[in-house]
Amino acid sequence: MLKTDILERIFSIEGKCALITGSSSGIGRALAVGFAQAGARVAVHGTRQEKIDETLRVIEGKGCRADGFLADLTENGAPNDLVSRVCDEIGGIDILVNNAGINRRNPIDEVTEEDYDLITTVNLRSVFFLCKAVYPVMCSRGGGKIINTGSLTTVQGIAGVPVYGITKSALGQFTKTASVEWAKDNIQVNCIAPGLIQTPLTEAGLLNTPYTKKWLLDRIPCNRVGQPEDLVGLGLLLASEGSSYITGQTILIDGGFTAGGDWRPPKE
């Protein structure tokens, strides 16, 4: 009984209202399903209604409820409008997960101005203004949790994704700044930095051939590709009171990739 009491008191998000952007597929969908199963009222966001509906059906299939919100975060005023609509529909926002993101795999010399503007707008500008819009909402509710989705490029340089890397490294710094400014308001801001996770984005660009998949797995100590569900546990921690003294941090979920590698030669 004591174990159950502790879990319910410290790690519960029962009854909390959560907006998860980019939750119509991949990592965002896994977080939306996990949060809904944990008792949160989840706002599922995406840019394609059919994908939003897919996520809602998955959640409903688990015996839970969620609400869908269609929004193009590249449009001026879209972050403010999304926050306003979510608050009107589900009653507020206690947890914001900034998960929406895009990538274009091009070297620096092939990046167009259009690519640069689009990636920075979705991955960084929208996050900034979503946080700004949700701040007074969380203050009125006595605090809140903001979780930003970074990547390996939050902490290290990776060739071929220069603009994506700019946005994700900036997201790590913004996480620190927001955490310092808003600690007084009982708002914790943290960043989850996933490694190689099997999503439509990585399947198209990194896991599309047996050679590249093996090459990547050889560099991951856990020797497997991460699944979106691998992020749910940390997401729940950072969304709950169990993380009330954790803020401004970037936490890697990468199967040990950034921890180092085994340089011992193979046995003959």
Would you name the residues annotated as active-site residues?
A: 164
Pull the structure tokens for residue 57. Answer: 């059906």
Which SS3 state, helix, strand or coil, does residue 41 take?
Answer: strand
Question: Across-strand partners of 98?
Answer: 148
Per the document, the length of the chain is 268
Cα angle at 221 between 215 and 227, to 5 degrees? 80
Q: How far apart are CA 190 and CA 136, in angstroms?
A: 18
Question: Across-strand partners of 189?
Answer: 146
Q: What is the CA radius of gyration of the chain?
A: 19
For residue 124, the 8-state DSSP code is I
Strands 250-253 and 187-194, by their bridges, are parallel
For residue 258, the 8-state DSSP code is G
Q: How far apart are CA 53 and CA 29, in angstroms?
A: 11
CB 211 within 8 A of CB 168: no
